[in-house]
Amino acid sequence: MKKIIISIIITFLGSGIMSAQSVYYVDGAVSSSGNGTSWATAFKTIQEGINAAYGSLTDPASETAQVWVKHGTYYVYVNSDVNTINMLEGVEIYGGFNGTETELLQRDFGTNTTIIDGHQSSESSNQVRHVVTAFGNEVSTDVFESWTNGLLDGFVITGGNVGIGKSKNGAKVTSPAEILNNGDAISGAGILIFKSAPAIHNCVIMDNSAGKGGGMYIMSATGFPSVNNDKASIRNCTFINNHAMMRGGGLAIDLGTEPITEACKFTGNTCDAKGGGVYIDWVCPKPVFINCLFAENYASRAGAIGVDGSSSPYLINCTITNNSSADVGAGLYTGSYNADGTSSNEPTLINCIVSGNTADWGGPVDLRIWHDDYFYASHSILGSGFTSSGEGVSYENPVFADISASDYSLVFGSAGINEGTSSDALDIFGYIPATDINGNPRDANPDMGCYEYILTNISDNPINQDNGFEIYPNPATDVIYILPADVIGTYNLTIYNSIGKVVVSNNFAGQSDISISGFSSGIYYVMIKNDRKKYTEKVIVK
């Protein structure tokens, strides 16, 4: 098995543990701003809170101050489309309060929705270009210093619109010099991260539009080819219905940047050219995606993820399905040049599902490899266009719970259950993801995709009482017997263990005996389907 060693250090921000931090309060419903030191004297605007928090710090690189924002809608456009919420180093900005909390852990951002809207008001068509921005610190003329000590947590970010006209060249910004000098101008309508690497957690980024990175744009480099190793943290965020003209409807990553994106959903994002969900370009060595869902995104090419410029994303336990494109590579498009396929710098999939995507053109749908490019995959379910060199690869139907209802969790008996690997994840990422996208625990044999299967009980009684099957003895030790009440022809019998893995599957006719002597002690589930399309479900105990 291919072994790739990568050292990644993840800093978890915003845990709710406070150590003599200053807190500043924001309540958009107040008539005028106070001094921001309590809910009763809150600031009216978020930027006032950020500025005050930053001003309270002696060393923003090592200290933090917090801004607590009461629920409601905060409109960003005041008098110009360049108005923005500007994140600053050392400031942690939290939404989701009801205005009475005295501790951070008391907030509920799921209930107390806090919206940062790029419009001037609910009735206005005026919009800002970037709703939230995070720029590196300018230490001298055109010399910037990146920073990581900052957080945005618990907000809905919407209404950004980088209006760039119809210029395709302007939308792409295709050279390192152009990206460093002008990349911020046409990118990141929802959130623009430029020459910095803060954390964005527990946010919904929706309905934003730009030339590149409609929902979010991340470019943490301060120079090229020399780049810094600061890694932005994107965790538990949803990118939905964002749009880009040229690259990356939901998210675009540029110029040697390596964010760690964990437990995020990319759904319904679009791009007129390449990368409906995500686009990665210009030698981004190892941007990491863990427990992420890419579904229902669309682009002319690379409906879910587009990779160019010798970039090599690493995906672990990701699900890429039900995306579409007009051209090819509706699931994953890779144009990251690696002619011999032996380099560690290649797109890598571990415990992933890339299947069930569609393309109008009809070419390689789930994967499109450009010329001699390569990728590495292990313990993954793959669809059309793949020829993988890794171990544990399956080309079976993963069988999702309900695609029509956008439920991409696995069903009982899916080929992806219990078939992942922990060793590759440990070798590559330095740790094993302990939970899935919903926070459910993963076991030592993780499932493929972003969801870990959660076993639900199957009834001990037949769904159709006239199916006429009897299974005995129960409990059993070495053998179980299947006895049809009448002659019904051939039937299929499948036995699953307690974690949903198939341990027996075969066709039988008449009375049959099934050896279970090799089974471990425990509970097993039996599904019988006869040729009349009737089903029986029973539980047996070994």
Q: pLDDT for 146-176, tens place per residue?
A: 999 999 999 999 999 997 643 444 455 568 8
> Which of 414, 429, 444 finishes a domain?
429
> Which of 379, 405, 429 finishes a domain?
429
Across the chain, which has 542 residues, the per-10-residue mean pLDDT values are 31 40 95 96 98 96 97 97 97 98 96 98 96 91 88 98 59 74 91 97 98 96 79 97 96 94 98 96 91 97 91 93 91 69 67 93 78 78 78 90 94 86 71 88 90 65 49 82 68 78 80 83 78 60 72
Q: Is the residue at 490 inside a domain?
A: yes
Kindly report the CATH number assigned to the domain that includes residue 404: 2.160.20
**Amino acid 7: pLDDT:** 30
Residue 375 and residue 313 in contact, taking contact as beta carbons nearer than 8 Å = no
Distances 345 to 256, 318, 340, 376 between C-alpha atoms, Å:
12, 19, 11, 10
Q: Is the residue at 330 inside a domain?
A: yes
16, containing H or E segment: none
Q: Is the residue at 435 inside a domain?
A: no
Instruction: Kindly give, in sequence order, each residue whose CB lies less than 8 Å from that of residue 1, ignoring residues fewer than 6 positions away.
Output: 378, 390, 391, 423, 424
Tell me: do 515 and 398 sit in the same domain. Answer: no
Per-position b or e across 155-182, b if 16+ CB within 10 A of its CB? bbbbbbbbebeeeeebbbbeebeebbee
Tell me: do 410 and 507 sit in the same domain. Answer: no
Tell me: do 408 and 483 sit in the same domain. Answer: no
CA 355 distance to own-chain centroid: 16
> Which of 429, 453, 480 finishes a domain?
429
Tell me: do 98 and 156 sit in the same domain. Answer: yes
Q: How many domains does the chain have?
A: 2
Q: Is the residue at 446 inside a domain?
A: no
Tell me: do 52 and 114 sit in the same domain. Answer: yes
Residue 63, classed as helix, strand or coil, is coil
Tell me: do 407 and 305 sit in the same domain. Answer: yes
Extract the tokens encoding 518: 């090799």
* Nearest alpha carbon to residue 212 among 177, 153, 169: 169
Phi, psi of 403 (to 5 degrees): -65, -35
Kindly report the CATH number assigned to the domain that includes residue 508: 2.60.40.3080
Tell me: do 499 and 353 sit in the same domain. Answer: no
User: Mind listing the pLDDT tens digit for each residue in 35-59?
Assistant: 999 999 999 999 999 999 999 999 9
Tell me: do 486 and 423 sit in the same domain. Answer: no
**Amino acid 232: pLDDT:** 95
Residue 215 and residue 191 in contact, taking contact as beta carbons nearer than 8 Å = yes
Q: Is the residue at 440 inside a domain?
A: no
Extract the tokens encoding 69: 């924002």
Tell me: do 265 and 331 sit in the same domain. Answer: yes
Name the residue type at position 431.
Y
Distance of alpha carbon 97 from alpha carbon 94, whole angstroms? 8
**Amino acid 462: pLDDT:** 36
Tell me: do 197 and 147 sit in the same domain. Answer: yes
Extract the tokens encoding 239: 């990118």
Tell me: do 470 and 391 sit in the same domain. Answer: no
Residue 207 and residue 133 in contact, taking contact as beta carbons nearer than 8 Å = no
Q: Is the residue at 460 inside a domain?
A: no
Extract the tokens encoding 148: 């990581």
**Amino acid 244: pLDDT:** 96
Q: What is the dihedral of CA 402, 406, 408, 410, to 10 degrees?
A: -20
Q: Is the residue at 181 inside a domain?
A: yes
Domain encompassing residue 473: 465-541
**Amino acid 21: pLDDT:** 79
